[in-house]
Structure 1
Amino acid sequence: MAKRRIYLHIGLPGAGGAFLPAALAHHASALAAAGVQVPTRAGDEVLRAAVELRRDHKQHGYRRREVEGTWAALCHRARKACAKGESVVLGEEHLAGADTDQIALLLDALSGWEVHVVAVVADPASQLVGAWADTIRAGATRSLRRWTRRVLDPAREAPESVAFWAEHDLEGVLHRWSAALRRPDRMHVVVAPRADDASAPVSRRDRAASVWADLGRVIGFDAAALPLTEVDTHPGARLDATGLAVLRGVNRAVDGRVAPGAQRRVVSDHLARREEEASGPELPTLPAELHGELRDLAERWAKAVADAGWLLYGDAADLVPTLPTRAVDPDEVGPGARLASVTDSVADLLVEVARLREENDALARRTAKLERKRTKLKTRLAAATAAGSPGPAGPADGG
């Protein structure tokens, strides 16, 4: 009888697969009918499992007890739901940066399964911009130009460089996971189409559809029958160049008074513009002088994929970045655009603060009401106890 098979989408972060957990959850019933199980329940369950495995819950705004046991629970549910010959699929971009020991721990929990790893990859320019933007959402203040220079320093000693390459070095990430699998034919590499290709522009929704179709080919389901029309193909709101310029200034004023995980959540929920609003030339681009260096890097990546024998989906040429038709430097955003962005953000935050105050007042009234009830019940209980208890014993009769 065929072994149970599990497909793990490990990232890379920002390469174009962030929507996959939501898409899989949305189509869970249809996938189950096709023999593909999606065992996740809560929307952030796989993220919490990945955070547990990588031991960095504080960075993501979780307490230890919120993540402990998540991976074991997922594996248990997967084993219970999945019959022999069926497949399970889980995905979380944060897994890309797992080190050798963490990968071994993860795979140990999957003993008895045939494990396949799916990596969605993209050109290094878009990965650099996306990773820098994520640092700004988490409270950083360094400019795109300075941050990129530190990351691309050949020594790779700066903290920004270490953090970036752990999750975004295509060769390093894929070789770590492939070595643990010991089977190159179980490493599936999906190349996302370039979204900024001037010669053949690809919308971000079309890009997501391409990644979704390739995932269907990897796992064996008909992606065309499971459309993404009701799925947010860019989860976690994204800031455009103006929004990032404004947020850098806000971060300087906040000056570390908010934990990175908590700030990232607030920014995503209340400050960032949705993908439909942050598109086209509004998004930041890297300086043109970096193009040659990144092109050489991308060509090395493409050769590494070809030489390793991993299964490739998409066009490896899309790993090579193209020069943008228009350079957009977040540091050059004018005061008028910044003012408009700040005005919109303050209006949104005012609405949200008002909503939270109303909610807090309602909770306070409910708490006060429950406290009054508790006091009454406590008084009645004390009275009933006093009425039902025997009085103090009198002196014994001496006869």
Structure 2
Amino acid sequence: MAEALDGTPPTVYLHIGAPKSGTTFLQGVLWNNTAALAEAGVLLPGGSFAAQVRGMRDLRGLEPEPGEPDADWHGAWDGLAAEVRASSARVAVISSEVISAVDPAGAARAVASLAPCEVHLVYSARDIAGLLPSEWQEYVKHRFHYDFDLWLREVVDGPRDQGAAEWFWKVHDIPEVIGRWAPHVPPERVHVLTVPRSGAPRDLLWRRFAALVGIDPDVADLSDVRSNASLSHTETELLRKINNAVGEEAPMWLYHRYVTNLFALEVLPGKGVPGRVGLPPARAEWAGKKAHELVEHIRAAGYDVAGDLDELLPPDTGGAAPAEPAAADIADAAAAGIVGLLDRIGALEREIEELRERNAGQRRELDALVEEMHRQRAEQQQTPLPKLMARELSERNPAVWKMRVGYWHLVERLRGVEQPDEDAPREEGPEGAEAAPEPPPVPVLSRRGDPR
């Protein structure tokens, strides 16, 4: 790794968002090129994107849902910060689009925990006319089941502290978002990264990000990097119907695992009639006015701009309001989605069968080893005295009993025996123990249609 020449601590770039502004693409570039970036003196603390997500959750003070797996993120942010402070790297990058939602206390904690490192903010932004439909789709991917018009009424016309508006403006109102960091990060260390318009070179956003962080963009290989999958209007409407079918009792972590991450991001894209969700013409005037307000604020605040502020102004597309998807098209997308899921099931079954075959071969090898072990043991035990002594000791000494039971279970499991014989020694020992409790019910997305 290229180190800071004078031993100074790393310069830290917190890429705090915003959602739906190329963050998935940039994170893909970073995490697909960790070795090359490390050689260039760039540290990605935590060692994985998941570790940085846990740090973000800790920083925001989020609480896990009951039964949520891998939910121990307490202290995760402090772990990231400690790794940065101890590093000899030239630059450290932490990227999570929802760091933009931290409150003022979280912003203060983040900067203080990284001292004495110099902290910079990177906030990526896009034109609001394209952002609104994209954010509505993201809401649908997170279990929202209302249509675009209702969502727009909440975000544009409703109070900012209620409904969909609360989250949207918390992460997309540039003065408010950066204002929460203002007491700790001066304007010259705030970088607004504009998202290029459609049709621009695919690597342009990365080149802008690399330039402001001080990375040679050519050290990264972008060939395997994916952008966040976009859904067509038809596919989004199908997902809304699925959301209506998901039971209210299903936990969000389960929804994210199967509906968001599997179906919406991997299976559904491309299954429906093409055609993006467009901003209704009646909202175009408001979007243009709001975009000019945000651009003027960025100019007046003196933030560094990586890109072109004109890219934040909505293009003059004109046209009529987008048509609602036909019911037949939604049904066709559903059928194609089901086939896609069946293909996934088939692939998993083949993988399971391969694992079973591999496991069977390993079990045969283990059986041979156990048989050899017993043969050698029989040769050593010319008299029954050692066995009798072991049995007597195990009945008098709990520790020896546990060792004997553990050995017995090991041998039986290596042989592939599912249940012990009635006469075999039990783990509860001579005094017995309570039976194990019944396992908790497996969480499901919906109980509708369960066998009666």
How far apart, in 1, do the equivalents of 2:182 and 2:9 lie? 20
Question: 1:101 and 2:105 equivalent?
Answer: yes
Q: What do residues 290-329 of structure 1 show as CA deviations (whole Å, max 9, x unaligned)? A: 0110111100110001000110111101111124466674
Deviations 1:250-295 (A, max 9, x none): 2112242422333233234332366984999622111111011011
- Identify the residue that residue 392 of structure 2 maps to in structure 1: none
Q: Matches of residues 180-219 of structure 1 in structure 2 within 5 Å?
A: 180-181=184-185, 183-195=186-198, 201-202=199-200, 206-207=201-202, 209-219=203-213
Cα displacement (A) at 1:58: 4.1
In the alignment, the residues of structure 2 paired with residue 287 and residue 96 of structure 1 have an alpha-carbon distance, to the nearest angstrom, of 27
Quote the Cα distance in structure 2 between the aligned partners of 1:131 and 1:58. 24
Relative to structure 1, the CA distance from residue 95 to residue 218 in structure 2 (aligned partners, 3 Å threshold; closer, same or farther) is same
Q: What is the match of residue 223 of structure 2?
A: 229
Which of the residues 263, 273, 279 maps onto 1:271?
A: 263
Aligned sequence identity (%): 25
1:30 equivalent to 2:63? Answer no
1:25 is paired with a residue of what secondary structure?
helix
Q: More relative contact order in 1 or in 2 (CA 8 Å, sep 6+)? A: 1
Question: Structure 1 residues 6 and 168 mapped into 2: Cα distance closer, same or farther (>3 Å)?
Answer: same
Cα distance in 1 for residues equivalent to 2:150 and 2:16: 28
- Structure 2 gap ranges (5+): 1-5, 364-408, 431-452
State the one-letter code of the partner of 1:8: L
TM-score w.r.t. the length of structure 1 is: 0.81
Match of 2:308 in 1: 315
Q: Show the counterpart of 1:392.
A: none
Greater Cα offset, 132-141 or 259-268: 259-268
Equivalence for 1:118: 122
The residue type paired with residue 58 of structure 2 is E
2:338 is matched with 346
Aligned twin of 2:368: none
Q: Distance in 1 between matches of 2:254 and 2:196?
A: 32
| Letter aligned with residue 247 of structure 1 | L
Structure 1 stretch 183-192 or stretch 272-281: which is displaced more?
272-281
The superposition leaves residues 332-351 of structure 1 with CA deviations (integer Å, 9 ceiling, x where unpaired) of 10123212210111112234
CA displacement at 1:217 relative to structure 2: 1.0
Relative distance call for 1:369 and 1:143 in structure 2 (3 A) is farther
Task: Return the letter of the residue paired with 2:230.
Answer: R
- Contact 2:129 / 2:279 at 8 angstroms: preserved in 1? yes
CA offset at residue 210 of structure 1?
A: 1.7
* Alignment partners' CA distance in 1, 2:217 and 2:272: 25
CA contact (8 A) 2:45 2:52 kept: no
Structure 2 equivalent of residue 290 of structure 1: 283
Give CA deviations for 1:341-372 in whole Å, capped at 9, x if unaligned. 10111112234445667888989x99995783
1:138 and 1:264 in contact (8 A); partners too: yes
Structure 1 segment 123-202 matched on structure 2, within 5 A: 123-153=127-157, 155-181=159-185, 183-195=186-198, 201-202=199-200
TM-score, normalised with respect to structure 2: 0.72
Q: Provide the secondary structure at the position in 2 that maps to 1:332.
A: coil
Provide the residue aligned with 1:198 in structure 2.
Answer: none
Give the distance between the partners of 2:164 and 2:106, measured in 1 at CA.
21
Q: Structure 1: which 5+ residue stretches go unaligned?
A: 196-200, 386-399
Describe the superposition over 1:61-86 as per-residue Cα deviations: whole angstroms up to 9, x where unpaired.
95584322221222222233335xx1
Residue type at the aligned position of 1:166: K
Other structure's SS at 1:177 match? coil
Alignment-mate amino acid for residue 263 of structure 1: Y
The 1:380–1:63 alpha-carbon spacing in structure 2 relative to 1, beyond 3 Å, is closer
Cα deviation, 1:212-266, whole Å, max 9, x if unaligned, reads 11111111111134231121233xx332211110111121122424223332332
Amino acid at match of 1:271: F
Q: Aligned partners of 1:251 and 1:373: how far apart in 2? A: 41
Which of 298, 302, 311 aligns to 1:305? It is 298
Structure 1 residues 284 and 278: CA distance shift in structure 2, 3 A: farther
Report the equivalent of 1:261. 253
SS of match in other structure, 2:15? strand
- Match 2:324 to one of 324, 332, 353: 332
1:43 is matched with 49
Q: In structure 2, how many angstroms separate the alpha carbons of the residues matched to 1:62 and 1:37?
A: 30
CA-based RMSD of the aligned residues comes to 3.5
Of residues 417, 437, 444, the one that matches 1:372 is: 417
How far apart are residue 126 of structure 1 and its match? 2.3
User: 1-side partners of 2:169 and 2:107: how far apart?
Assistant: 17
**Is residue 282–residue 328 contact of structure 1 (8 Å, CA) maintained in 2?**
no
Q: Determine helix, strand or coil for the equivalent of 2:149.
A: helix
Q: CA deviation at 1:59?
A: 7.5
Equivalent position amino acid for 1:16 in 2 = G
Equivalent residue number for residue 374 of structure 2? none
Which entry has the higher C-alpha Rg, 1 or 2?
A: 2
What is residue 390 of structure 1 aligned with on the other side? Answer: none
Structure 1 contact 121–191 (Cα < 8 Å) conserved: yes
Deviations 1:80-109 (A, max 9, x none): 3335xx111111101011110111111221
Structure 1 residue 178: deviation in Å? 3.0
Q: What corresponds to 1:388 in structure 2?
A: none
Q: What is the distance in 2 between the residues matched to 1:30 and 1:358?
A: 35
- Aligned equivalents of 1:350, 1:238: Cα separation in 2: 22
Distance 1:18 1:62, change over 3 A: farther
